[in-house]
């Protein structure tokens, strides 16, 4: 059966809800989107995260002006080495690679810190954009999990918080082991983030 673009979008949003759910009650988020913000290039090394993998390294520019609360939490978790050894548990070719569950390592967990309020913006989801995963139906449930886009995903615009963008090494992200769409992209024996550091902290 041919899948229309709208149906595909609905399926993908539903998959995000499934992948991030921990079977807790979900509260509705705000009815209006926060004031749009505009992303810009990083100014300091404190706004760049360096990821080491078995395939090499890649860097992500963190958009403090777009999502200050999420970036602050992201850097806090990095500096606590929360992401070291965490798997890319869900990877769908042509769509995105999801990771960041340093609690359960399978997409059902988060961190010890509270969930964050949505910081939606007008930054479009395209190749290389980094977004925060959340539970479906609850805009304010992002925590530690995030995803990196392999391609454009305009059906995600205004529905997920953009936290940054791949600055270099996207070819490394492309090499990550993929899961099957039939299994919601769940990866068997997944690749992992070996280490993650804030560039300013790397000596």
State the 10-residue block means of pLDDT for the chain, 203 residues long. 40 46 34 44 80 98 96 98 98 97 97 98 97 94 98 96 97 97 93 97 87
- Please report the pLDDT score of residue 25 as a whole number: 26
Say how far residue 198 (Cα) sits from the centre of its chain: 17
- Please report the pLDDT score of residue 5 as a whole number: 41
The CATH class for the domain spanning 46-201 reads: mainly beta
- Please report the pLDDT score of residue 57 as a whole number: 98
- Please report the pLDDT score of residue 20 as a whole number: 45
The set of long-range contacts for 176-179, using a CB threshold of 8 Å and a minimum separation of 24, is 176/53, 176/55, 176/88, 176/91, 176/97, 177/88, 177/91, 178/91, 178/92, 178/93, 179/90, 179/91, 179/92
- Please report the pLDDT score of residue 38 as a whole number: 46
Cα-based distances in Å from 59 to 7, 101, 124, 186: 33, 19, 19, 24
- Please report the pLDDT score of residue 124 as a whole number: 97
pTM over 0.75: yes
- Please report the pLDDT score of residue 29 as a whole number: 36
Cα 147 to Cα 107: distance, rounded to the nearest angstrom: 11
- Please report the pLDDT score of residue 193 as a whole number: 98
3-state DSSP call for residue 164? strand
- Please report the pLDDT score of residue 44 as a whole number: 74
- Please report the pLDDT score of residue 136 as a whole number: 83
- Please report the pLDDT score of residue 203 as a whole number: 74
């Amino acid at each position: 059966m041919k899948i229309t673009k709208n149906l595909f979008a609905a399926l993908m949003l539903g998959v995000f809800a499934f992948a991030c759910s921990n079977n807790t009650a979900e509260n509705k988020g705000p009815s209006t989107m926060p004031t749009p913000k505009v992303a810009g290039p990083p100014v300091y090394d404190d706004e760049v995260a360096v990821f080491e993998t078995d395939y090499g390294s890649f860097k992500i520019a963190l958009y403090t002006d777009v999502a200050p609360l999420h970036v602050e939490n992201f850097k806090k978790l990095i500096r606590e080495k929360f992401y070291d050894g965490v798997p890319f548990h869900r990877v769908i070719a042509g769509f995105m690679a999801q990771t960041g569950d340093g609690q359960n390592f399978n997409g059902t967990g988060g961190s010890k810190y509270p969930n964050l309020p949505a910081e939606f913006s007008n930054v479009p989801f395209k190749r290389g954009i980094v977004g925060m995963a959340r539970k479906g139906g609850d805009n304010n449930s992002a925590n530690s999990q995030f995803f990196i886009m392999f391609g454009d995903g305009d059906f995600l615009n205004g529905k997920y918080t953009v936290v940054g963008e791949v600055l270099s090494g996207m070819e490394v992200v492309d090499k990550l082991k993929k899961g099957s769409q039939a299994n919601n992209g769940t990866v068997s024996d997944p690749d992992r983030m070996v280490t993650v550091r804030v560039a300013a902290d790397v000596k």
